[in-house]
A and B are shown apart, each in its own frame.
Chain A
Amino acid sequence: MAAGVAAWLPFARAAAIGWMPVANLPMPVAPTNKNKRQDELIILNVSGRRFQTWRNTLDRYPDTLLGSSEKEFFFNEETREYFFDRDPDSFRSILNFYRTGKLHYPRYECISAYDEELAFFGIIPEIISDCCYEEYKDRKRENTERLMDDLEDNKDNKPPNMTFRETMWRAFENPHTSTMALVFYYVTGFFIAISVITNVVETVPCGTTPNQRDIPCGERYTEAFFCMDTACVMIFTVEYLMRLFAAPSRYRFMRSVMSIIDVVAILPYYIGLVMTNNEDVSGAFVTLRVFRVFRIFKFSRHSQGLRILGYTLKSCASELGFLLFSLTMAIIIFATVMFYAEKGSSSSKFTSIPASFWYTIVTMTTLGYGDMVPKTIAGKIFGSICSLSGVLVIALPVPVIVSNFSRIYHQNQRADKRRAQKVQKARLARMRISKAGSSTAFLHSKRNGLNQSLELTGSLEEDQQLKKTTSLLESQHHHLLHCLEKTTNHEFVDERLYEQGYLQTALQNFPSQSPSLSSEEGVTGTCCSRRTKKNIQALNATHTHSHTHNLQELSALHIHCGEQQPLNTSRSSLNLMSDESGSLNCKSSGLVTTAIISIPTPPSNNSRANPDAPPPPNPDAPPRPNPGSDVVKISAL
């Protein structure tokens, strides 16, 4: 329940009078406000700046510093005010949280300072309201990234126990870790450069023979170039195999872009080795040599800028795609127009529409080679329109790419995409948690039997034995929900128990006397029928003590006692503990189901099973009065 509507709780409780005529059962006693005093103003002095608010405002959130008795530690007797030696600017938003129920994150505030203030005042950052949550998460992520970068810079020595494989991988990925890695890095870079230069020089004409045209160097010094090529390819192959060996996930490594480039760079050589001097495929062989130029892409491992450029192009692919599409549209339109305009003139180069494409592209990109020019007047008019609109079209994609590039360079783009998914998931999770929190809070307090002792004829001693772990507000809210339960004669349960309830009613007429619950969890453990008390006593006597030893595989034994017989007005019979010899107060009927139940934790972690946490409170639970307690938890580990 959002405490922002805490002020309306009296109204909701008053409206509950509308249920009374419909209800068939008596209502539980309302929790009383023992120290009912008039609401007073309290002064909070934060480093000299005085804030004043009502005490009730602060009491809305009893699990924070200001809402609990923890603030008494800061009470100053002489000045009769609460003094906190903290930042008054941040305190503004914290106090506003109490007033409005929404926690806002001020933009000018440093993220770590704000986090510290929240931690001091016991407020979890997850309840920052939606309007400020994005900003908060962004800043938090930037901060953690900054911290991680700092950590990595300071990390000089590698962790001691790294296998040889991991060391190698680390050396490959981050050349600055060791001298060997640096050497390797530079050597491969050098060889990539050599390989590329070789490819280039191969085609340069060098030297002439008197009766022939210039032949390229590649054909003149075939063996030399072949040796060079072989050396480079051997180095690249060795490097690739070493990377493949060191990769933590070989499959993923093989799928990555860089490894594909590596493979493509060295493959032509091997293919060339395999099929030599075969005239048929020499054409294909020549094509393969083109792929050798891909070796230049291997430089991207060595250059951060190249990688960013590649990533930019990939990320603004959609914008580029759309622009390409519109460009194509324009080209087709203009080519058609030019073709038909120039159709009339003789010896026109615009022989077909596809032939006009070339003119259109050259004109729109303002290249203007001049190999195709319109001759008719109409052609010239449309040609000029074409070139003018081309200027517009070309001007458009450039800012897009530039802005994207700068964005990535500041490491924003990558975070955006990941953030979008995470934020959505996180927000849904938060909403689920806060919604479930309020509903599970009631279920938890039910399990603790707090509500049960507030029966109409409940005695006062039991009241005092209650631990006031819940605030007055919460207990009033729970009382309201309890009244609703009584009105409809049904109880709130959580989803898991609801499923089990379904199964239980299916097996309702399957009484089994054997208390062997050591079988699987679930409904097969219905050891007692729904009727007789005797079974319960036997169950109580034998189960609770022996079972804690027998059940090893189950982490909690959940005994659910439902009240199936019609209740009479005086429930004192249900409060009796003397009837039962067993340590449990299972009343009229009971079904023992085994389930994994988690101990009530604060709503932030939404009741997931926590097998390690619950200590066996079995011997301790019963002495606390659980009259008519519907659900008693015993954990057996």
Chain B
Amino acid sequence: MGMVLGTFSMHTKQVTYRTDKVDDELEMTMVSHRPEGLEQLEAQTNFTKQELQVLYRGFKNECPSGVVNEETFKHIYAQFFPHGDASTYAHYLFNAFDTRNNGSIKFEDFVMGLSTLLRGTVRDKLEWTFHLYDINRDGFINREEMTEIVRAIYDMMGKYTYPALKGDVPKQHVDTFFEKMDKNKDGVVTLEEFVIACQEDENMMRSMQLFENVM
């Protein structure tokens, strides 16, 4: 008799399971996106057709649906930094690329961002970097935002570093940064201060040139 009861209960359980599956399937029909034509993208960015083709092939390989959401983005970025935790920095990067703020990056956004970074003028690059640091998009970088960014960068190093990360190293780093950047000592860095300070720094200019030939 226990068997009979048991089989009855099993039957009802099965029914609910099936309906769950149907719901899942509906969710699975994901949004697919196709980018604008090649010519338009070529006009809007500083890439050649071949470069756009190579970029799109790589993009489509990782994201067949045509859009990157934050999880995929973090996953991809984390592959390059196996030592530490790249998710925080990837989050900020994602927001920097996601210019339309709708939680996903289409190929156009991706290519625009890359065009600025690789083929843009120095001023463009610095502006892009400023927007990366300015988390709340208020036009100013304050200490908290900078600390977040620097901490995220240090997170990517992971635990096993030499010398070992002791004390509040990110904070010291932020202090150095503000010393350099904040000309009028008002506690925030504006875009102009940032651009001027960076252009004065030879090292930085040279480092930025390094990434010219990444493509």
Beyond A12-B77, A490-B165, whether A20 also contacts B129 by CB under 8 A is: yes
- Quick check: which of B25-33, B35-43, B200-208 contacts chain A, the rest being far away? B200-208
Which A378-395 residues have C-beta < 8 A from chain B?
385, 389, 392-393
| CB nearest to A54 among chain B residues | B57
* Total count of chain B residues near the partner, CB < 8 A: 63
- State whether B162 touches A13 (Cβ < 8 A): no
Given contacts A17-B208, A39-B54, A389-B4, A505 and B81 within 8 Å (CB-CB): no
Would you list which residues of chain B between 118 and 134 have a CB under 8 Å from chain A?
Answer: 118, 125-126, 128-129, 132-133
- Which chain A residues in 391-439 approach chain B with CB under 8 Å? 392-393, 396, 435-436, 438-439
Indicate which residue in A17, A30, A438 contacts B117 across the interface (CB closer than 8 Å).
Answer: A17
Contact B2 A330 (CB under 8 A): yes
Q: Which residue of B lies closest to A498 (CB)?
A: B160
**How far is it, in angstroms, between the C-alpha of A99 and the C-alpha of B77 when the chains are bound?**
19
Within 8 A of A (CB), among B73-112: 76-77, 79-83, 93, 96, 110
Whether A493 pairs with B62 at a CB distance below 8 angstroms is no
Q: Which residues of B contact A487 (CB under 8 A)?
A: 153
Please indicate the chain B residues that have their CB under 8 angstroms from the CB of A456 in the complex: 206
Residue of B nearest to A500 (CB): B162
Of the candidates B50, B81, B93, B158, the one whose C-beta lies within 8 Å of that of A18 is B93
Q: Is the CB of A8 within 8 A of B58?
A: yes
Any B CB within 8 A of the CB of A258: no
- Asked whether A569 and B203 contact (CB < 8 A) given A18-B93, A490-B162, A505-B163, the answer is yes
Bound form: Cα–Cα A479–B156 in Å: 15
Nearest chain B residue, comparing its CB with the CB of A385 = B1
A21 CB–B CB distance under 8 Å: yes
What residues on B are CB-neighbors of A436 within 8 Å? 82
Q: Mark B1-40, 1 if CB is under 8 A from A, else 0.
A: 1111010000000000000000000000000000000000
Query: Contact at A16–B211, with CB atoms within 8 Å?
Result: yes
- Cross-chain contact of A30 among B61, B79, B194, B211 (Cβ < 8 A): B211
Interface status of A574 (Cβ within 8 A of chain B) = no
Distance, CA A389 to CA B54, complexed state (A)? 70
B173 with A488: CB separation less than 8 A: yes
The digit string for B151-185, where 1 denotes a CB below 8 A from any CB of A, is 00110111111111100010001001100010000
CB distance from B51 to the nearest CB of A (A): 9
Is B191 engaged at the interface, CB distance under 8 Å to the other chain?
A: no
B129 & A21 in contact (Cβ 8 Å cutoff): yes
Given contacts A484-B81, A569-B203, contact A493 B117 (CB under 8 A): no
- Residues A477 and B80 in contact, CB atoms below 8 Å apart: yes
* Contact indicator per residue, chain A 329-357, by CB within 8 Å of chain B (1) or not (0): 11001100000000000000000000000
A326→B3 contact, CB < 8 A:
yes
User: For the complex, what is the distance from the CA of A501 to the CA of B164, rounded to whole Å?
Assistant: 7
Is the beta-carbon distance between B82 and A488 smaller than 8 angstroms?
Answer: no
Contact status B114-A14, CB under 8 Å: yes
Q: Does B135 sit at the interface, judged by CB under 8 A?
A: no
Contacts of B163 in A (CB 8 A): 490, 501, 505, 562
Q: Contact: A495 with B160, CB < 8 Å? A: yes
A29-44 near B? 1/0 per residue, CB < 8 Å: 1101100001100000
B150 within 8 A of partner (CB): yes
Taking a contact as CB atoms closer than 8 A, the residue among A6, A30, A385, A498 that contacts B161 in the complex is A498
Which chain A residues lie closer than 8 Å to B129 at the CB level? 17-18, 20-21
Q: Does A538 contact B (CB under 8 A)?
A: no
CA distance A20 to B211 in the complex (A): 11
Q: Is the CB of B157 within 8 A of A492?
A: yes
* Contact (Cβ within 8 A) B76 A5: yes
- Residues in A whose Cβ lies below 8 Å from that of B161: 488, 490-493, 498
CB A13 to nearest CB in B, in angstroms, measures 5
CB distance from B11 to the nearest CB of A (A): 15
> Is A481's beta carbon under 8 Å from chain B?
yes
Q: Are B118 and A14 touching (Cβ within 8 A)? A: yes
Contacting residues, chain B, for A226 (C-beta < 8 A): none
Chain B residues near A16 (CB, 8 Å)? 211
A22-B153 CB under 8 A given contacts A8-B76, A562-B163: yes
A502 within 8 Å of B by Cβ? yes
Establish whether residues B82 and A438, one from each chain, have CB atoms under 8 Å apart when the complex forms. Answer: yes
Is A609 close to B, CB under 8 A?
no
Cα–Cα distance between A30 and B210 once the two chains are bound (Å): 6
- Which residues of B are found within 8 Å of A25, using beta-carbon distances? 203
How long is the Cα–Cα vector from A15 to B125 in the complex, in angstroms? 11
Chain A residues, CB < 8 A from B211: 13-14, 16-17, 30
Contact A329 B76 (CB under 8 A): no
Is the CB–CB distance between A32 and B213 below 8 Å?
Answer: yes
* 0/1 interface trace, chain A 455-466, chain B, CB 8 Å (1 if under): 010000000000
Q: Which residues from chain A contact B154 at a C-beta distance below 8 Å?
A: 488, 490
B207/A498 in contact, CB under 8 A: no
What's the Cα separation between A344 and B46 when bound, in Å?
A: 100
If A21-B194, A27-B207 touch, does A11 touch B114 (CB 8 Å cutoff)?
yes
Q: Does B140 contact A (CB under 8 A)?
A: no
Contact B4 A392 (CB under 8 A): yes
Shortest distance between the CB of A487 and any CB in chain B (Å): 6
Complex Cα spacing A33 to B213, Å: 9
Whether B204 lies near A498 (C-beta < 8 A) is no
Chain B residue, CB-CB nearest to A6: B58
Known: A21-B194, A484-B81. A26 touches B206 (CB 8 A): yes
Chain B residues in contact with chain A, CB under 8 A?
Answer: 1-4, 6, 50, 54-55, 57-59, 61-62, 76-77, 79-83, 93, 96, 110, 114, 117-118, 125-126, 128-129, 132-133, 149-150, 153-154, 156-165, 169, 173, 176-177, 181, 194, 198, 203-204, 206-208, 210-211, 213-215
Interface residues of A (CB under 8 A from B): 1-2, 4-27, 29-30, 32-33, 38-39, 56, 99-100, 326, 329-330, 333-334, 385, 389, 392-393, 396, 435-436, 438-439, 442, 456, 477, 480-481, 484-485, 487-488, 490-495, 497-498, 501-502, 505, 562, 569
22 A–B contacts, CB within 8 A, in A order: A1-B79, A4-B61, A5-B80, A10-B55, A13-B214, A14-B214, A16-B211, A17-B208, A20-B207, A23-B204, A24-B173, A29-B210, A39-B50, A330-B1, A334-B1, A438-B82, A484-B153, A484-B157, A488-B153, A498-B160, A501-B164, A562-B162
